[in-house]
């Protein structure tokens, strides 16, 4: 061991929590793999996951065993040195639940404590498994109302003898909350609601006493209000505080939700509660009166650092809204902040760190069309950032995109006919990030994604960045650019390395101090999850869950095609001198397509477009251009066309195609088929043009 990298003790071996330790820094002190030898890194083993959907889990490794989750909330226990399967657990989630979650049937991992493995399932159960055998010890239903679209995608956290879990659903109309269950028994210890309900809050409910006056009108209980806690929690055992990262408003439109007024606490906030009781301690709202899906569910990092000569206990977050926040985690007081990507929705932060909303530029309750950056994908999403106490830098997988918003009144929903109106209360569309000084957008600016030229322009404008951010000076120290969004979470190590997977299918190591690329390998699929590092019998490994999916390809399929990635889910594990090989990359079929129908009825196409936008586009892509996660419906074969109605009525429910018989009439199903036949014709004409003008 050289002096640059002195040996680190056995306490560095495990990756015991989602963020390695309770501080959630995603920093491994291990340094056997370092900038001097990282070029010798090779694949040690790979484990194939049976469902080729998005992989978002951070694995946990304790005593040489890896616990990781895959799509449909399945849990895998693997020998961390060989990839040998020790056990596998399938909670049997009803595949018909695929449309209860906004963004793929993903899961972000387990918590492990005292011989128990805890997993939250897509259908809302929290389950404790025996870590040795994978057998169920207890299972509890965490959902308060199965009539609404709640789903769990996040990893549970451990706090004060409890397992804590939230859920998602703010895109569908739910009231967000966080629940804590006793680790041993699964009994509910406490529940914290993120937003007020219809009733007056109890006199001793300080949180809702604070929140209620920031909401207006009586309609928000109908829409649920939102504030789902779908990903991030952090626990400081010394302070006894649990930090809750709260999501966006439900319904998105603040006009429909809260008469266009108010901060709407605790939407888009970090809330600190007593970990034993769930009682409110402090809050910091990152986006006042959210109406842009600006969640504060992004991962929160706890660190101790010297700022202006004083030792500070901080909590850091880079929420979707594009601002980085460094707060005092004892009091919630704002220390510093700055935007890490371009923002046009706000003019900056005031002295308390409250963003000054640019109403003219971003609030769409005035009925005008607004082009807002960041978009609903955020400047940063669930892909976790990491912090190296060695460099003092935070490594943020950042996103640069924009989104159109235009208010739709409820009575006008049926006329709106564009993606989003029903679910969000606005017409939404992808946009090219605006430049300062651009004139106000007009409806004619909304790109027509069916036209290949617009697709190209949009795709090229949606980019990713890895940003090494100084959380004290609040500025970037170095950056790396990516051709598209939804690049992976990051890992920082004692070997002065930063690891990150990319949407275009690579796994890369950078030097932590200056961002120099030192190593990369083909992952053969887009990589989104946060990598980890661990050591068994003195040998260091770096691991990542690889597999393209999640919000981007499902929701904006047409734009995500650029990644060239195919869903091919695996756990990939690397070590120095590793020689294992991956099977060849799966490529997307570019076969010429045949017509779906002999004749197409334009009236049906028009009606079908609306029905498709409302019911199908969230998974099968805007304008029916799939991102490759679920079938591209423009390319259906003859037998699929023949069985179209049967499939919509549940024939493929077991593989994740929900039953739409309660939502769509036969006539509407037929309209959708005609719309798809038209999109198929559009695709064939693009293919013909390409064949005539080969580049």
Ligand X SMILES: O=C(O)c1cc(C(=O)O)c2c(n1)C(=O)C(=O)c1cc(C(=O)O)[nH]c1-2
Residues of this chain that interact with Ca ion (CB under 5 A) are 170, 248, 293
56 among the known binding-site residues?
yes
Residue 315's nearest CA partner among 408, 242, 217, 213 is 242
- Ramachandran sector of residue 255 (left: φ over 0; alpha: ψ -120 to 50; beta: rest): alpha
Work out what residue 551 binds among ligand X, Ca ion, none; the CB cut-off runs from 5 to 8 Å by kind: ligand X
Nearer to ligand X, 103 or 596 (CB): 103
φ, ψ for residue 72, nearest 5 deg: 60, 25
Rounded Cα–Cα distance for residues 581 and 44 (Å): 9
The minimum distance between CB 248 and Ca ion, in angstroms, equals 5
The helix/strand/coil state of 470 is: strand
Determine which helix (DSSP H) or strand (DSSP E) holds 682, and give its type and residue range.
Answer: helix 666-692
Pick the closer one to ligand X by CB: 153 or 258: 153
104 binds, among ligand X, Ca ion, none (CB under 5 to 8 A by kind): ligand X
Give 174's contacts (C-beta < 8 A, 6+ positions apart). 145, 148, 149, 150, 167, 224, 226, 228, 250
Decide whether 13 or 293 has the Cβ nearer to Ca ion. 293
Q: Is the peptide bond before 75 cis (omega within 30 degrees of 0)?
A: no
Q: What is the dihedral of CA 166, 172, 173, 177, to 10 degrees?
A: 0
Q: Which helix (H) or strand (E) holds 681?
A: helix 666-692
- Out of ligand X, Ca ion, none, what residue 169 binds, judged by CB under 5 to 8 A for its kind, is ligand X
HSE-up (13 A, CA, CB side) for residue 535: 19
CB of 320 or CB of 674, closer to Ca ion: 320
Q: How far is the CB of 176 from ligand X (least distance, A)?
A: 7
| CA-based radius of gyration for the chain | 24
Residue 620 in marked binding region? yes
**Is 293 annotated in some ligand binding site?**
yes
CB-nearer residue toward Ca ion: 248 or 540: 248
Residue 269 binding partner per list ligand X, Ca ion, none, with a CB distance cut-off of 5 to 8 Å that depends on partner kind: none
Of these residues, 52, 104, 293, 632, which one is catalytic?
Answer: 293
Q: How far is the CB of 555 from ligand X (least distance, A)?
A: 8
Binding partner of residue 381 among ligand X, Ca ion, none, CB under 5 to 8 Å per kind? Answer: ligand X
Identity of the residue, 168 or 471, whose beta carbon is nearer to ligand X in the bound complex = 168
Binding partner of residue 476 among Ca ion, ligand X, none, CB under 5 to 8 Å per kind?
A: none
Identify which of residues 107 and 671 has a Cβ nearer to ligand X in the complex. 107
Q: How far is the CB of 468 from ligand X (least distance, A)?
A: 23
Q: State the residue for tokens 């429909």.
A: 256
Residue 615: its H or E element: helix 602-615
Measured from the CB of residue 424, what is the shortest distance to Ca ion in angstroms? Answer: 10
Q: 248 among the known binding-site residues?
A: yes
CA separation, residue 653 to residues 10, 151, 646 (Å): 47, 17, 11
Q: Is 312 labelled as part of a ligand binding site?
A: no
**Residue 170 phi, psi dihedral angles, 5° rounding:** -65, -15
Q: Which residues contact 490 (CB under 8 A, 6 or more apart)?
A: 26, 384, 385, 386, 395, 396, 397, 466, 498, 499, 500, 530, 531
**CA-CA distance, 4 to 13, in Å (whole number)?**
19
Write out the two tokens for 164. 């804590």
Q: Which is nearer to ligand X, 27 or 422 (CB)?
A: 422
State yes or no: is 670 an active-site residue. no
The helix/strand/coil state of 661 is coil
In whole angstroms, give the CA distance from residue 19 to residue 157: 10
Three-state secondary-structure class, residue 644:
helix
Whether the CA torsion 469, 474, 475, 481 is positive or negative: it is: positive
Cα distances (Å, whole numbers) of residue 39 to 46, 235, 578:
19, 36, 11
Q: What is the 8-class DSSP label of residue 315? A: E
Return the one option of Ca ion, ligand X, none that residue 230 interacts with (CB less than 5 to 8 A, by type). ligand X
Q: Which residues contact 607 (CB under 8 A, 6 or more apart)?
A: 668, 671, 675
Minimal distance in Å, beta carbon 107 to ligand X?
9
- Asked if 63 and 83 touch (Cβ cutoff 8 Å), the reply is no
Contact 98, 650 (CB under 8 A): no
The reply, when asked if residue 390 is annotated as ligand binding, is no
Pick what 298 binds: Ca ion, ligand X, none; C-beta below 5 to 8 Å, kind-dependent. none
Q: Which is nearer to ligand X, 102 or 491 (CB)?
A: 102
Q: Which residues bind ligand X (CB under 6 A)?
A: 56, 101-104, 106, 153, 168-171, 228, 230, 247-248, 293, 295, 377, 381-382, 550-551
When the beta carbons of 248 and 490 are compared against Ca ion, the nearer one is: 248
Q: Does 300 show up as a binding residue in the annotation?
A: no
DSSP state of 12: G
- 103 has binding-site annotation: no
Give the C-alpha separation, 302 to 332, whole Å: 12
Q: Find out whether 671 and 607 touch, Cβ atoms under 8 Å.
A: yes
* From the list ligand X, Ca ion, none, partner contacted by residue 106 (C-beta under 5 to 8 A by kind): ligand X
- Contact assessment for residue 232 and residue 300, using Cβ atoms and an 8 Å cutoff: yes
Report the C-alpha gap between 460 and 456 in whole angstroms: 6
CB 258 within 8 A of CB 220: yes
Question: Measured between alpha carbons, how far is 62 from 542 in angstroms, rounded to an integer?
Answer: 14
> Any known ligand binding at 320?
yes
Integer Cα distance of 566 and 632 in angstroms? 13
Confirm whether residue 171 is marked as ligand binding.
yes
Q: Reduce the DSSP state of residue 270 to 3 states and report it.
A: strand
The candidate with the shortest Cα–Cα distance to 493, out of 481, 475, 511, is 511
- Minimum Å distance from CB 143 to ligand X? 13
- Rounded distance between C-alpha atoms, residue 450 and residue 401, angstroms: 19
What is the closest distance, in whole angstroms, from the C-beta atom of residue 378 to ligand X in the complex? 6
Residue 491 near which of ligand X, Ca ion, none (CB within 5-8 Å, type-dependent): none
Q: How far is the CB of 319 from Ca ion (least distance, A)?
A: 12
Kindly tell me which of 65 and 103 has the beta carbon lying closer to ligand X: 103
Annotated binding site for heme c: 616, 619-620, 657
Annotated binding site: 56, 108, 153, 171, 228, 248, 293, 320, 616, 619-620, 657
Active site residues: 293
Annotated binding site for Ca(2+): 171, 248, 293
Annotated binding site for pyrroloquinoline quinone: 56, 108, 153, 228, 320
């Amino acid at each position: 061991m050289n002096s640059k990298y002195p040996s680190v003790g056995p306490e560095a071996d495990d990756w015991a929590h989602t963020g390695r330790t309770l501080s959630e820094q995603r920093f491994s002190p291990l340094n056997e793999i370092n900038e001097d030898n990282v070029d010798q890194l090779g694949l040690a083993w790979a484990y194939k996951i049976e469902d080729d959907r998005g992989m978002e889990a951070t694995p946990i490794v304790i005593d040489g065993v890896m616990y990781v989750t895959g799509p449909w909330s399945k849990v895998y226990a693997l020998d961390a040195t060989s990839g040998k399967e020790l056990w596998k657990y399938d909670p049997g989630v009803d595949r018909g639940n695929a449309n209860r979650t906004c963004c793929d049937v993903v899961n972000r991992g387990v918590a492990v404590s005292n011989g128990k493995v805890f997993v939250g399932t897509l259908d809302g159960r929290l389950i404790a498994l025996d870590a040795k055998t994978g057998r169920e010890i207890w299972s509890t239903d965490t959902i308060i109302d199965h009539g609404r679209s709640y789903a769990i995608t996040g990893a549970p956290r451990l706090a004060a003898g409890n397992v804590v879990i939230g859920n998602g659903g703010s895109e569908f109309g739910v009231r967000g909350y966080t629940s804590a269950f006793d680790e041993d028994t699964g009994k509910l210890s406490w529940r914290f609601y993120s937003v007020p309900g219809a009733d007056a809050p109890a006199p001793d409910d300080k949180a809702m006493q604070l929140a209620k006056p920031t909401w207006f009108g009586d309609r928000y209980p109908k829409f649920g209000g939102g504030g789902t806690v779908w990903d991030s929690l952090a626990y400081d055992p010394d302070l006894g505080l649990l930090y809750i990262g709260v999501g966006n408003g439900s319904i998105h439109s603040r006009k429909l939700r809260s008469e266009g007024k108010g901060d709407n606490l605790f939407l888009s906030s970090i809330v600190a509660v007593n970990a034993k009781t769930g009682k409110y301690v402090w809050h910091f709202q990152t986006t006042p009166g959210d109406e842009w899906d600006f969640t504060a569910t992004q991962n929160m990092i706890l660190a101790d650092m010297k700022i202006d000569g004083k030792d500070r206990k901080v909590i850091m977050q880079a929420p979707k809204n594009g601002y980085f926040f460094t707060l005092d985690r004892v009091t919630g007081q704002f220390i510093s902040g700055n935007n890490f990507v371009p923002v046009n929705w706000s003019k900056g932060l005031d002295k308390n760190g409250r963003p000054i909303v640019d109403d003219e530029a971003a609030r769409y309750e005035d009925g005008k069309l607004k082009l807002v950056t960041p978009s609903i994908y955020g400047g940063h999403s669930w892909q976790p950032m990491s912090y190296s106490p060695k460099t003092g830098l935070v490594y943020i997988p950042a996103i640069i995109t924009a989104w159109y918003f235009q208010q739709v009144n409820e009575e006008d929903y049926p006329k709106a006919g564009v993606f989003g109106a029903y679910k969000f209360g606005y017409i939404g569309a992808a946009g090219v990030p605006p430049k300062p000084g651009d004139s106000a957008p007009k409806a004619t600016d909304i790109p027509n994604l069916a036209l290949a030229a617009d697709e190209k322009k949009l795709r090229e404008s949606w980019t990713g960045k890895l940003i090494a951010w100084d959380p004290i000076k609040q500025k970037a120290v170095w950056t790396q650019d990516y051709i598209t969004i939804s690049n992976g979470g990051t890992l920082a190590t004692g070997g002065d390395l930063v690891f990150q997977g990319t949407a275009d299918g690579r796994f890369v190591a950078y030097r932590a101090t200056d961002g120099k690329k030192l190593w990369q390998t083909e992952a053969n699929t887009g990589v989104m999850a946060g990598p980890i590092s661990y050591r068994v019998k003195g040998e260091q490994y770096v691991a990542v869950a690889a597999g393209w999916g999640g919000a981007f390809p499902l929701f904006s399929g047409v734009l995500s095609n650029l990644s060239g990635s195919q869903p091919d889910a695996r756990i990939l594990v690397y070590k120095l001198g590793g020689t294992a090989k991956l099977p060849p990359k799966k490529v997307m079929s570019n076969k010429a397509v045949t017509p779906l129908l002999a004749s197409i009825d334009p009236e049906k196409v028009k009606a079908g477009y609306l029905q498709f936008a409302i019911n199908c586009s969230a998974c099968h892509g805007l304008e029916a251009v799939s991102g490759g996660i679920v079938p591209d419906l423009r390319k259906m074969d003859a037998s699929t066309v023949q069985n179209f109605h049967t499939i919509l009525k549940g024939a493929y429910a077991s593989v994740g195609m929900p039953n739409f018989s309660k939502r769509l009439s036969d006539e509407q199903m037929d309209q959708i088929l005609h719309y798809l036949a038209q999109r198929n014709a559009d695709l064939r004409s693009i293919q013909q043009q390409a064949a005539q003008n080969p580049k």
